[in-house]
Chains A and B, each alone.
Chain A
Amino acid sequence: MSLFDRLGGAPAITAAAELFYRQVLADPLLAPYFDDVDMDRQVAKQAAFLTMALGGTDRYTGRDLRTAHAGLAGLTDEHVDRVIGHLAQTLRELGVAEGDIAAAGAVADSARDDVLNR
């Protein structure tokens, strides 16, 4: 059973995506990238990202992430590190065990090169 299923599937992920998105928006390094986006659509993308990181799907591929981030100037490893940090913090607040958090972080990290377009 994936962590996605253990956390409660799609309904639980929608709530988790809001927690995660709020942390990202509160981060001054990351917030400017979200200034002109539709929040309902963006939180849905955050949910898709969490679903991937938690093993709920293998369909959200790196190519989607590559395309989605291609137009964003100035993205560096630090941005990716911060996002993975917020992911860990979100899961911690939801009571997820550290081993599972590390596993989710590793899946997210596997998209690093796609996000940074290299």
Chain B
Amino acid sequence: MLLTFDGDGYELRTGESVLECLSRHGVELLSLCRAGTCHSCLLRAECGDPGEAGRGGLKPTLRASGYFLACLARPVTDLTVGAPASDIITPATLVRSERRAPHVLVIWLRPLRPVGFRAGQHVTLSRDGVTRPYSIANLPTEVARDGLEFHVRVYPGGAMSGWLADTAPGARLGLGVPAGECFYLPGRPAAPLLLAGTGTGIAPLAAIARDALAAGHRGPVTVLQGAAEPGGLYPAEGPLRSRVPGGDPARIRWRTCVLSRGQDIAEEVGLELARLGDPAIVRAYLCGGAGSVARMRRALFMAGMSLQSIQADAFVPAVVAG
């Protein structure tokens, strides 16, 4: 059998793990426990099946994205792993943009080729050598009609956001490969969903909520929108409720949390969790500033949620502006 790793092919013996095969050929891969528990040797299958043993204990979203553990996977077919996705760029055209708040621009891009993604994933946008990640704010089923929707936090002088704010429809951009583990997976339709985010992190969360309801999710849905100041709460609740496909918009509980009013989002998310009963059955989705996401994750974990049930996407602002 053939194992292709990072563009090079290696002979894979029957019964051999991916890690053993790479090690035998002198390829060093980080690995600590070699028993499937530490996940330091996590890889992603591009092509071929790593086998079920290699996926044991992984988060459902990781499994769905093709990830596996090199130490446990003993493939019985050829396998190609982990080519860098950064080279694949899809051209796209800016079709529309709209100010939703002084600091938030909503844009729609039409990709020249179909782009496969799950609601809540992010993608890089690039133009003239500037590349920034943004979360997709609508559903795959809406792209043919509307294009891909993004909610862009506008930074004055921002190399990408400032340019988008000043650019007319028709402009060309590049789209990277959609990535991220913060998305809805069907399978536990009665589970309470708790979605909490700050800033434009609310956009992918609203998409995840709509995706869940479109997939027939029956459990209660709570959305917590956080901001540093009242002005940071840009209109997101109305657009979500008006776009709930085939569901009752009243099923969504929408709360806001504003730091300058003395509300702490990690505390608020804990209070919302407490309303939902047994924390072990709740699924949480967190998006927004890295600090807020980290504190919310810790609060939910300490209140009894498993980290396996918490999907998060932390936004890190670009260090280089201008």
Contact = CB atoms under 8 A, between A and B. Distances in A.
Contacts of B297: 39
B35 A45 contact: no
A76 B34 CA distance: 29
Nearest to B42: A44
B36 interface: yes
Given A11-B56, A14-B57, A48 B307 contact: no
Contact of A25 (B34, B36, B294, B298): B298
Given A10-B56, A40-B307, A64 B32 contact: yes
A11 B35 CA distance: 11
B32 A48 contact: yes
B38 A39 contact: no
A50 B37 contact: yes
A40 B297 CA distance: 10
Nearest to A64: B32
A26 B38 contact: no
Given A11-B56, A39-B298, A44-B40, A18 B33 contact: no
A59 B36 CA distance: 12
A4 to B, nearest CB: 7
A46 to B, nearest CB: 9
A10 B37 contact: yes
A48 B33 contact: yes
Contacts of B161: none
Interface string A32-60: 00000001100111011011100011011
A48 B35 CA distance: 8
Contacts of B308: 14, 18
Interface of A is mostly: helix
Interface in A1-41: 4, 9-11, 13-15, 17-18, 21-22, 25-26, 39-40
Interface residues on A, range: 20 to 34
A43 B33 contact: no
B37 A44 contact: yes
B306 interface: yes
Given A22-B302, A39-B301, A45 B38 contact: yes
A43 B307 contact: yes
B39 interface: yes
Given A14-B57, A47-B38, A52 B33 contact: yes
Contacts of B32: 45, 48, 59-60, 64
Contact of B33 (A21, A39, A40, A59): A59
A40 B72 CA distance: 19
B300 to A, nearest CB: 10
B38 A48 contact: yes
A64 to B, nearest CB: 6
Contacts of A56: 33, 35, 37
B302 A26 contact: yes
Interface string B204-225: 0000000000000000000000
B301 A57 contact: no
Interface in B271-314: 294, 297-298, 301-302, 306-308
Contacts of B35: 4, 10, 48, 51, 56-57, 59
A47 to B, nearest CB: 4
Interface in B65-90: 72
Interface of B: 31-40, 56-57, 72, 294, 297-298, 301-302, 306-308
15 contacts: A9-B36, A11-B56, A14-B37, A14-B308, A21-B301, A22-B301, A39-B294, A39-B298, A39-B301, A45-B38, A47-B38, A47-B39, A57-B33, A59-B31, A64-B32
Interface of A: 4, 9-11, 13-15, 17-18, 21-22, 25-26, 39-40, 43-45, 47-48, 50-52, 56-57, 59-60, 64
Instruction: List the 5 closest pairs (A to B, CB-CB), nearest first.
Output: A48-B38, A47-B37, A10-B36, A48-B33, A44-B39
